[in-house]
Amino acid sequence: KTLNPQWREQFDFHLYEERGGIIDITVWDKDAGKKDDFIGRCQVDLSTLSKEQTHKLEMPLEEGEGCLVLLVTLTASAAVTISDLSVNSLEDQKEREEILKRYVWRKKPNKFLFKPCSWWVFLVYKFCSKFSLIGKSDPFCVVELNNDRLLTHTVYKNLNPEWNKIFTFNIKDIHSVLEVTVYDEDRDRSADFLGKVAIPLLSV
């Protein structure tokens, strides 16, 4: 019930310079019981913004009226990473052995101790669909751990996509739960939910 909303939401995106940096934002009027009405869209080209400072942007909406006010900060982050399975360093056997030495369960009388973990690796390999519609899905995967959120690329027109991505997360609490959600991308509206799994780190 307002034409001048203030959301005050913060979103963290992980930008990889070699892939460009265009953020596409759409604004909608939510209608209960029927299709939402499109209000307008704008694009933010992050390559034009300087790093390590906060930019206040007033972006006029294309295909509509009004503007969005954004605060955008580009800063370096090494806490979370995403890489291709084929080029990941964990394929090196010596590297894997060193990791196992550093982060292992070791038994002592009547209890187990866990060496403090600074990071954790999770592999997103493929998605096996139970749907029979041929070539209709454009699936992508969202991996979330606490406040960190990473996405795979979208595999278009495929019901059994293979992403082959490795995600590296900083672990602050071994009791955290990793959430992996698969969506079907839809250009003109919100992505469709395809499935979700929650993995307690202590169970791995």
With 0.75 as the threshold, say if the pTM is over it: no
Q: Is the pLDDT of residue 66 over 70?
A: yes
The half-sphere exposure of 90 on its side-chain side, counting CA atoms within 13 A, is 14
SS3 58: strand
179 or 97, higher pLDDT: 179
Per residue, the 3-state secondary structure of 107-152, as one string, reads EECCEEEECCCCEEEEEEEECCCCCCCCCCCCEEEEEEECCEEEEC
Q: State residue 119's pLDDT score.
A: 64
Residues in Cβ contact with 122 at an 8 Å cutoff, skipping those fewer than 6 apart: 143, 166, 167, 168, 169, 178
Per-residue model confidence as pLDDT tens digits over 67-106? 999 999 887 765 566 666 665 555 566 655 655 555 454 4
Choose the most confident range, by mean pLDDT, from 11-25, 49-63, 99-113: 49-63
The half-sphere exposure of 64 on its side-chain side, counting CA atoms within 13 A, is 17
Q: Give me the domains of the chain, ranges plus CATH numbers.
A: 1-76 (no CATH), 81-200 (2.60.40.150)
The half-sphere exposure of 38 on its side-chain side, counting CA atoms within 13 A, is 13
* Pick from 145, 130, 137: nearest CA to 192: 137
Q: State residue 19's pLDDT score.
A: 56
